[in-house]
Structure 1
Amino acid sequence: MGKFEIKATKSGQSMFNLKAGNGQVILTSESYTTKAACENGIESVRKNSQMDERFERKTGSTGQHYFNLKASNGQVIGKSESYTSTGAMENGVESVKKNAPDAEVEDNS
C-alpha cells in the first residue's frame, strides 16, 4: 500500500512525496508555505488522480518521459520522476491512480 510522506524543505516549507508500496517515489509535490496547504494538496491528489485527463504526459529535452498531475484549475499538484520509456511512464500513472486514494499520510516534517 502506498503512502504520502510530508517533509519540511530547507526553507521551512512543507512538501510531500507519494510513494508506492515498494517505497519508490511516484509523485512529488511543490513546496507549500503551510502544512495545512500541503495537506490540502494531498487531498487534491487523492481526488484528481482518479481522472485520467488530469495527467499531463510530457517528454523532457533529454527524451525522458514524465507526467504532471493537475487540479481542475490547471495548477500542477505533483510531478513524476523521469522514465526512460512511455510504457514505464504509463505504469507510473497507473501506480498513482492505484495508490493515492487510500494511501496513509506519514508526517516527517
Structure 2
Amino acid sequence: MTEHLTWAPAACTLPTAEQPLRVAEFDQLFADHLRNANRVDPQTLDLTLAAEGRDTTADLTARETECCSFFAFTLTEPTDGHFHLRIGVPATQVAVLDGLADRLPA
C-alpha cells in the first residue's frame, strides 16, 4: 500500500492519480499553518492554525468534502491570530482520520 492511501479510503471519489496531490496540499497546510493538534477522541481531531491559512483551509476542506463526504469539517472565524478546524469522521472511518493525524508534524 502506498503512503497516500493510508487515509484515502475506497469510498473516496478523488481520482487515484490526484490523491498524492491532495495529500501534499494537506502536508503543506500543516507545515505552513498548524500551531496545535488535539485528538479529542477516535473520531475527532481539533487543529489550531494560523489565521492567514483560513482561506486555504476553507478551500481545501470544501474540495475534500466533495470527494470524501464522510468528513465533517468545522472552521471557526480567526481571532487572536489563529482559527480552529475540527475534523470529524464516523466510526467506520476512524482509520482515515488516523492516517491524516499521522501526517501532522511532530
**Which of the pair is proportionally richer in helix?**
2
TM-score between the two structures when normalised by the length of structure 2: 0.35
